[in-house]
Amino acid sequence: MSQSSPGSPLPPASPDLPVLRVAVLGAGTVGTEVLRLIAQQGEDLAHRIGGRLEVIGVSVRDLTRDRGEHVPADLLTTDPAALVREADLVIEVMGGIEPARTLLLDAMAHGASVVTANKALLAQDGPTLYEAADTHGVDLYFEAAVAGAIPLVRPVRESLAGDRIQRVLGIVNGTTNYILDAMTRTGASFDEALADAQELGYAEADPTADVQGHDAAAKASILASLAFHSRVRLGDVHCEGITEVSAQDIAAAGRMGRTIKLLSIVERVRDETGERISARVYPALIPDSHPLSSVSEAYNAVFIEADAAGSLMFYGQGAGGAPTASAILGDLVSAARQRVRGGVGPRESRYAELEQIPLDDLRNAFYISLTVQDRPGVLAEIAGTLSGYGISISTIHQELIDQSEDGGEKSLAHIGISTHRALESAMTASLDVFSSTATVLSIDSVLRIEGE
Rounded least distance, CB 402 to a second copy, Å = 43
Q: Measured at the alpha carbon of residue 297, what is the angle toward residues 316 and 235, in degrees to the nearest 5?
A: 75
Q: Which stretch binds a second copy (CB under 8 A): 177-185, 236-244, 322-330, 374-382?
A: 322-330
How many Å is the maximal CA-CA distance in the chain?
92
CB of residue 223 to a second copy, shortest distance in Å: 15
User: Does the annotation flag 204 for ligand binding?
Assistant: yes
Give the one residue of 213, 330, 416, 451 binding a second copy; rule: CB under 8 A.
330
Catalytic residue among 67, 101, 157, 219: 219
Among 17, 39, 109, 322, indicate the residue that binds a second copy (CB under 8 A).
322
Distance between alpha carbon 277 and the CA centroid of its chain, in Å? 18
- Judged by CB under 8 A, which of 25, 179, 224, 329 binds a second copy? 329
Classify 380 as helix, strand or coil: helix
Sites for a second copy among residues 10-39 (CB under 8 A): 10-11, 13, 33, 37
Q: Applying CB under 8 A, which part among 78-86, 162-170, 180-188, 364-372 lies near a second copy?
A: 162-170
Backbone angles phi, psi at 57, to 5 degrees: 180, 155
Rounded Cα–Cα distance for residues 196 and 451 (Å) = 29
DSSP-derived 3-state class of residue 312: strand
Nearest residue (CB) to a second copy, 310 versus 407? 310
Cβ burial 131-160 (10 Å sphere, 16+ → b, else e):
ebbeebebbbbbbbbbbbbbbbbbbbbeeb
Using CB under 8 A as the binding criterion, the count of chain residues that bind a second copy stands at 73
- Residue 71: name the closest of 321, 248, 313 by CA: 321
176 belongs to the binding site for a second copy (CB under 8 A) = no
Cβ 71 to a second copy shortest distance, Å: 16
26 labeled binding residue: yes
For position 177 contacting a second copy by CB under 8 A, the verdict is no
Quick check: is 410 catalytic? no
Q: Rounded to an integer, what distance in angstroms lies between the CA atom of residue 429 and that of residue 297?
A: 36
Phi then psi dihedrals of residue 191, to 5 deg:
-60, -40
Q: Is 326 in the site for a second copy (CB under 8 A)?
A: yes
DSSP 8-state assignment for residue 13? P
CA dihedral 10, 15, 19, 21 (to 10 degrees): 60
Name which of residues 372 to 391 contact a second copy (CB under 8 A).
Answer: none
Binding of a second copy by 69 (CB under 8 A): no
Is 51 a binder of a second copy (CB under 8 A)? no
Binding residue (CB under 8 A) for a second copy from 155, 170, 174, 241: 155
Closest CB to a second copy among residues 195, 312? 312
On the question of a cis peptide bond just before residue 155, with omega within 30 degrees of 0, the verdict is no
Q: Binding to a second copy by residue 191, rule CB under 8 A?
A: no
Task: Confirm or deny that 342 is annotated as ligand binding.
Answer: no
Binding site membership: which residues? 25-32, 119, 204
Catalytic residue numbers read: 219
